């Protein structure tokens, strides 16, 4: 696995940033240096088949979410090696939550930024999966518009390149292996003992809005939930300074 490992000047614990579907570590490039001023170390992995991390020879057709999670656990064992503040976006948010539930020894605090995985209706889940299947440049532009509060013109002009990103073997494997049965159970969410922050964009257009209701209902009482004006699905790309303020403020309030 390829990853960035930035030595910070802050005194906070290691911070690990986990990207979402059809994304990579580079999606966080606008926030890593800002965060390094508050935390002792900032690590940003490319999950297998994303960014600069190749697919393993044992899975030439891609890895589904469960196997991606196993590689993430291995990354914590081999590289991070101590409890970290783990922040995940989209699919990375669902993986972060599951990581904290299954291996709490790796996770000192949890940051969920537009997390996927909420148990919504089967109809809404099917609609989400359909929206992630990209066959044409028009499909790529439509999906891109759902990611932002205000879609950058450059992103729409690069629809052909985005279509390639949305159509990788890894993305196809995740869509192929994701099912309604895999969505988060209330007990998984309720079990979280770590300090937890959830950030949901008021301009969220990709995930079903019922998702925020699921998390509000089932996150422990100690969790902070913020619905933020001007945030879409990927605030690390669109509103990086504001996202950093939310993360740092939470870290301060949580004694990290």
Token pair of 170, please?
A: 């890894």
Residue 157: the pLDDT is 87
Which is more confidently placed, 154 or 125? 125
**Quick check: 40 pLDDT over 90?**
yes
Residue 179: the pLDDT is 93
**How far apart (Å, rounded) are the C-alpha atoms in residues 246 and 102?**
26
Residue 159: the pLDDT is 82
Kindly report the CATH number assigned to the domain that includes residue 14. Answer: 3.40.50.1820
Residue 17: the pLDDT is 98
Residue 172: the pLDDT is 94
The pLDDT confidence band at residue 171, using thresholds 50, 70 and 90, is very high
Instruction: Outline where DSSP puts E strands in 25-136.
Output: 41-45, 84-90, 107-115
Per the structure, how many domains does the chain have?
A: 1
The pLDDT confidence band at residue 161, using thresholds 50, 70 and 90, is confident
Establish if 53 belongs to a structural domain: yes
- The phi, psi pair for 227, rounded to 5°, reads -100, 115
**How far apart (Å, rounded) are the C-alpha atoms in residues 89 and 111?**
9
Establish if 231 belongs to a structural domain: yes
Establish if 158 belongs to a structural domain: no
**Quick check: 162 pLDDT over 90?**
no
167 with 22: CB under 8 angstroms? no
Q: Which residues span the domain enclosing 220? A: 3-120+182-253
Establish if 58 belongs to a structural domain: yes
The secondary structure of residue 209, as a DSSP letter, is T
First to last CA, the chain: 27
**Quick check: 156 pLDDT over 90?**
no
State the chain's mean pLDDT as an integer.
96
Establish if 172 belongs to a structural domain: no
Token pair of 132, please?
A: 């992630």
Establish if 248 belongs to a structural domain: yes
**How far apart (Å, rounded) are the C-alpha atoms in residues 96 and 103?**
10
The secondary structure of residue 27, as a DSSP letter, is G
């Amino acid at each position: 696995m390829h990853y960035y490992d930035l030595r910070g000047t802050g005194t906070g614990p290691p911070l690990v940033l986990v990207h979402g579907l059809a994304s990579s570590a580079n999606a966080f490039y606008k926030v890593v240096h800002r965060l390094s001023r508050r935390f002792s170390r900032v690590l940003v992995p490319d999950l297998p088949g994303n960014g600069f991390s190749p697919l393993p020879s044992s899975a030439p057709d891609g890895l589904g979410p469960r196997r991606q999670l196993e590689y993430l656990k291995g990354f914590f064992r081999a590289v991070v090696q101590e409890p970290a503040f783990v922040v995940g976006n989209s699919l990375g948010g669902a993986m972060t939550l599951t990581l904290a539930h299954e291996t709490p020894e790796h996770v000192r605090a949890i940051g969920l930024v537009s997390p996927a995985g909420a148990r919504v209706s089967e109809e809404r889940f099917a609609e989400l999966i359909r929206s992630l299947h990209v066959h044409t440049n028009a499909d790529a532009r439509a999906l891109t518009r759902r990611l932002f509060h205000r879609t950058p013109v450059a992103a729409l002009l690069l629809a052909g390149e985005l279509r390639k990103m949305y159509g990788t073997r890894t993305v196809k494997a995740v869509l192929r292996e994701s099912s309604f049965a895999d969505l988060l159970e209330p007990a998984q969410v309720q079990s979280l003992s770590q300090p937890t922050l959830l950030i949901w964009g008021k301009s969220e257009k990709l995930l079903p809005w019922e998702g925020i209701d699921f998390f509000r209902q089932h996150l422990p009482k100690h969790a902070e939930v913020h619905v933020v004006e001007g945030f879409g699905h990927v605030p690390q790309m669109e509103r990086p300074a504001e996202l950093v303020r939310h993360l740092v403020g939470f870290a301060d309030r949580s004694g990290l």
